């Protein structure tokens, strides 16, 4: 089946959801068993297995099924946010005194979790240059149990050689986790490229309408047991209303992504030609350093990318941002509306993988007409 067909039908089990096209929202803490025998033999309850609200209802299972199917995984677990999906995936691959390798380009709160929580647990955290490639092997220690990747990286959009890193990790019995939020399950298939745990902030493109918080983790067979146990013991539960919004968003993901990709590239190419812009950070642009990897492994690009304005003293960045009408100033992305935010990636990096060589910005290109978006940016660029 083609991706656009899969996305319409995934998770819609006709045996369970007989009369509704959309799986209904089931709110429940208590789940009632029909008989004494069914109550004591909980494992024998009819499928899907509803035990207790915290471990999910049919709404949860429908979303899990849909994402698992799209990611070609063994198991998917839903989380109340992308960050809780990330932290649980990481906890599922570390033990006391483990050593974990984390890309220097990760989403800042991922880094904060590692620096605060993992270090408190006695886990050694080491950051590496996102474009390290095969040299990652030189960083392995006896106690290395996990590698955390994000490709392209947050704010600076470096591409990582995911299949290469994963194949080396596998030979050394090290688990790999990838934050795949940028590409969505449509444009990159992490498990097919050797990743053990694929993570998404479904708050972004999957929900797609800037009104829900959700995360998902999909595991391969070797990683499911630890993932399930970790999330179960942490008491992870996601409210059915947000899950419903995730499922609803998923149905239109393909058409939205086509548009985000198309408009994003139109705006990125326009920016490339602007004299005040020193760099456009978008892996689908042929001049981008990560372009070869993107072209080899990905089947598309989302609408999120960065650009750098030359560091001229008289540029009025504040006026530029405040003069934009269509681009809003908000710290998220992947919704139907366009966003433009200033960023400071060099402040967070610890191994000097980014130079502070201008004013950094991130654009999330929404579903507006790209010509209108360029005109809005032109207005702002008068102040540069």
195, two tokens:
């990743």
For position 238 contacting ligand PLP by CB under 6 A, the verdict is: no
Where does this chain touch ligand PLP (CB under 6 A) — which range of 31-39, 75-83, 137-145, 373-381? 75-83
Which residues within the stretch 308-347 sit at the binding site for ligand PLP (CB under 6 A)?
332
- Minimum CB separation of residue 379 from ligand PLP in Å reads 27
For position 88 contacting ligand PLP by CB under 6 A, the verdict is: no
Nearer to ligand PLP, 48 or 239 (CB): 239
Nearer to ligand PLP, 107 or 327 (CB): 107
Residue from the set 92, 201, 224, 261 that interacts with ligand PLP by CB under 6 A = 201
For position 82 contacting ligand PLP by CB under 6 A, the verdict is: yes
Nearer to ligand PLP, 261 or 380 (CB): 261
- How far apart CA 377 and CA 179 sit, in angstroms, is 30
Sheet-wide strand order for 304-309: 277-281, 304-309, 359-364, 339-343
Sheet-wide strand order for 144-150: 75-79, 215-219, 197-201, 175-179, 144-150, 99-103, 124-128
260, two tokens:
């985000």
The burial of 325, by beta-carbon neighbours within 10 Å (0-12 exposed, 13-18 middle, 19 or more buried), is given as exposed
Nearer to ligand PLP, 82 or 335 (CB): 82
Bond from prior residue into 65 cis (ω within 30 degrees of 0):
no
Residue 359 known to be catalytic: no
Query: Phi and psi dihedrals of 362, rounded to 5?
Result: -125, 135
Residue from the set 7, 78, 83, 212 that interacts with ligand PLP by CB under 6 A = 83
Residue of minimal Cβ distance to ligand PLP:
82
Handedness of CA 269, 273, 276, 277 (dihedral sign): positive
- How far apart CA 220 and CA 230 sit, in angstroms, is 15
For position 246 contacting ligand PLP by CB under 6 A, the verdict is: no
Where does this chain touch ligand PLP (CB under 6 A) — which range of 77-85, 119-127, 164-172, 370-378? 77-85
Q: What angle do CA 82, 85, 87 make, to 5 degrees?
A: 110
Report whether 202 contacts 334 (CB < 8 A).
Answer: no
For position 179 contacting ligand PLP by CB under 6 A, the verdict is: yes
Which residues within the stretch 204-223 sit at the binding site for ligand PLP (CB under 6 A)?
213, 215
The burial of 175, by beta-carbon neighbours within 10 Å (0-12 exposed, 13-18 middle, 19 or more buried), is given as buried
For position 81 contacting ligand PLP by CB under 6 A, the verdict is: yes
- Minimum CB separation of residue 319 from ligand PLP in Å reads 26
Nearer to ligand PLP, 84 or 230 (CB): 84
| Nearest in space to 55 (alpha carbons), one of 32, 84, 78, 86 | 78
- How far apart CA 144 and CA 230 sit, in angstroms, is 19
Nearer to ligand PLP, 105 or 223 (CB): 105
For position 154 contacting ligand PLP by CB under 6 A, the verdict is: yes
For position 161 contacting ligand PLP by CB under 6 A, the verdict is: no
Residue 107 known to be catalytic: yes
| Nearest in space to 140 (alpha carbons), one of 195, 101, 91 | 101
**Which residues partner with 217 through β-bridges?**
77, 199
**Count of residues that bind ligand PLP according to CB under 6 A:** 12
Residue from the set 76, 181, 353, 364 that interacts with ligand PLP by CB under 6 A = 181
- Residues marked as catalytic: 54, 107, 179, 204
Residues that bind ligand PLP (CB under 6 A): 81-83, 107, 154, 179, 181, 201, 203, 213, 215, 332
């Amino acid at each position: 089946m083609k991706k656009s067909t899969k996305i319409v039908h995934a998770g819609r089990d006709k045996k369970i959801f007989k009369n509704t096209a959309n799986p209904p929202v089931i709110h429940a803490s208590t789940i009632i068993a029909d008989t004494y025998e069914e109550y004591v033999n909980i494992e024998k309850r009819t499928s899907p297995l509803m035990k207790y609200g915290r471990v999910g209802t049919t709404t949860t299972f429908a979303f899990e099924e849909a994402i698992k199917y799209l990611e070609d995984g063994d198991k998917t677990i839903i989380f109340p946010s992308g960050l809780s999906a990330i932290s649980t995936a990481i906890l599922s691959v570390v033990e006391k005194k483990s050593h974990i390798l984390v890309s220097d380009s990760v989403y800042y709160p991922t880094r904060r979790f590692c620096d605060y929580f993992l270090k408190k647990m006695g886990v050694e955290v080491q950051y590496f240059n996102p474009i390290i490639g095969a040299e990652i092997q030189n960083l392995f220690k006896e106690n290395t149990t996990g590698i955390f990747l994000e490709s392209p990286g947050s704010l600076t959009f470096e591409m990582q050689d995911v299949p290469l890193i994963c194949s080396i990790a596998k030979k050394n019995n090290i688990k790999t986790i990838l934050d795949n939020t940028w590409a969505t399950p449509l444009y990159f298939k992490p498990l097919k490229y050797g990743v053990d745990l694929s993570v998404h902030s479904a708050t972004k493109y999957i929900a797609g309408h800037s009104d829900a918080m959700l995360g998902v983790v999909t595991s391969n067979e070797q990683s499911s047991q630890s993932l399930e146990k970790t999330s179960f013991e942490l008491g992870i539960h996601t409210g059915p209303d947000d899950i419903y919004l995730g499922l609803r968003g998923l149905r239109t993901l393909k058409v939205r992504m086509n548009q985000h990709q198309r408009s994003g590239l139109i705006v990125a190419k326009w920016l490339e030609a602007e004299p005040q812009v020193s760099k456009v950070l978008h892996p689908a642009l042929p001049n981008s350093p990560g372009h070869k990897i993107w072209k080899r492994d990905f089947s598309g690009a989302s609408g999120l990318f960065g650009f750098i304005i030359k560091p001229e003293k008289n540029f009025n960045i504040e006026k530029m941002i405040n003069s934009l009408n269509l681009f809003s100033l908000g710290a998220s992305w992947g919704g139907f509306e366009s966003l433009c935010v200033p960023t400071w990636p060099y402040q967070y990096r610890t191994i000097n993988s980014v130079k502070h060589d201008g004013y950094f910005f991130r654009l999330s290109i929404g579903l507006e007409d790209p010509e209108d978006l360029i005109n809005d940016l032109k207005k702002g660029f008068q102040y540069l």
